[in-house]
Structure 1
Amino acid sequence: MSTTDCIITSSVVPDELRLNVLPCYLGRHYLTGESMVYDWAARLCSSYEGGHWNFFTLSNGGFYMAPSNMDRVHVRWYMNGYSDMMGADAFGITVTLFALCHLAEHTLDDVIVTRYHQLREFAVHHAEAANILRAID
């Protein structure tokens, strides 16, 4: 069985383990990466006003963040003309992908590039994959 045939699963990180998630997955870039996630959330969703985020680990070694205090949100990215509604989980995946891409360009760190590809591999099988992929295109 190839890795493309494996189902990638996500698990929410319990609150008591959250402190180590970003340093583990982003290394020394964890503060910049976290800031980029929140910045991209504000760029892509005009109604975003901050709040609590859940952290998720992926069975392929990746991770993502998603807001816990949102339902469906309107997401708009003027650079590719995307404008549609998506759920909080899909929004979190989208925002984290944008942040990882930006962070990879900024740092040229292969670990960050790997994190992007791990999350994208999960995203293509998500229930809202079409919206996620249109938003990041």
Structure 2
Amino acid sequence: MYSTEDKVTSSLVVDELRLDFLPRHLGRHYLLGEAMIFDWAGRLSRDYDGGSWEFFELSNGGFYLTPHMQGPVPVACDTNGYAGQMGVEAFGIVVTLFALCHMCERFDNAEHLAVAYHLLRGFARDHAEAVAIFNAID
């Protein structure tokens, strides 16, 4: 389990392990979860226009996805008034956090999604762009 004293690290998921990635992290709602991630990317940045994504595992058991796109990424959130720019990795973290939160609100028995949300927040806390990430999700 995650310890606040441990530095959380991320590692890219290799192609051979991608097929099981979303079902393992999102459970039976993985297809809808994937669609929510893509939807949030489009809602949060006018520069996102689809494409492929990279998957990342966290040393604390969490995960996030990042789109293949050029940064910095302009981000605007109508729900909280945030507007700014961030790198692609930070944008992927924000998008994944929004999607996890949305899934927690939508599904019963989503404790594993709430845990995933907090594990990713733990990683984001020490990220170089932590201020932008937390401003975007606030």
TM-score normalised by the chain length of structure 2: 0.95
Counterparts of 2:53 and 2:70 in 1: how far apart (Å)? 10
Structure 2 counterpart of 1:22, which letter?
A: L
More displaced stretch, 62-71 vs 13-22: 62-71
Q: Which runs of 4+ in 1 moved over 4 A?
A: none
Aligned length: 136
5 Å matches for 1:119-134?
A: 119-134=120-135
**What TM-score, normalized to structure 1?**
0.96
Tell me what 2:77 maps to: 77
**5+ long unaligned stretches in structure 1:** none
RMSD: 1.0
> Where in structure 2 are there 5+ consecutive unaligned residues?
none
- Tell me how far 1:69 sits from its aligned partner: 2.8
Q: What's the % identity of the aligned pairs?
A: 54
Task: Give, in whole Å, the separation in 2 of the partners of 1:78 and 1:19.
Answer: 33
SS at match of 1:74: strand
Deviation, structure 1 residue 70: 2.6
Query: Which shows bigger deviation, 101-110 or 66-75?
Result: 66-75
User: Who is 2:111 aligned against?
Assistant: 110
* Aligned-partner residue type, residue 134 of structure 2: L
In the aligned structure 2, how far is the partner of 1:68 from the partner of 1:126? Answer: 19
